[in-house]
Amino acid sequence: MTGSIDTIFMFPVRSIQLREQDILQLGDFGFSVQKVQQEYLIRLGFYDGPIDGYLSPETENAIRLAQLSLRLDVTGQCDLMTTQALQSRSALSF
């Protein structure tokens, strides 16, 4: 077949949504990551990368910066405490 290329896109093996522990970490992919990127990290100025729903090293670094700014444990993982602090800060920024 000329001019036709089949492309297979595979999602990362990690979860597509928050797991039972409510923690997003490096390699996760999906709407939950996209929401954190768009609604919190970009809005608050911690991240200027793509809103692609992939928790890349750049997104992880943005989470670390946010955690440092919010005086949380700096883990690079978006746990429940981090999400709640980002939500509170975001609500104050309007």
Tokens standing for residue 40: 């919190």
SS (H, E, C) 41-59: HHCCCCCCCCCCCECCHHH
Place 94 in a pLDDT band, splitting at 50, 70 and 90.
low
| pLDDT per position as a tens digit, 1-36 | 455 555 554 555 554 444 556 799 999 999 999 999
At 37-67, the pLDDT tens digits run 999 999 999 999 999 999 999 999 999 999 9
Q: What span, in angstroms and rounded, lies between the C-alpha atoms of 23 and 79? A: 4
* Domain range list for the chain: 31-88
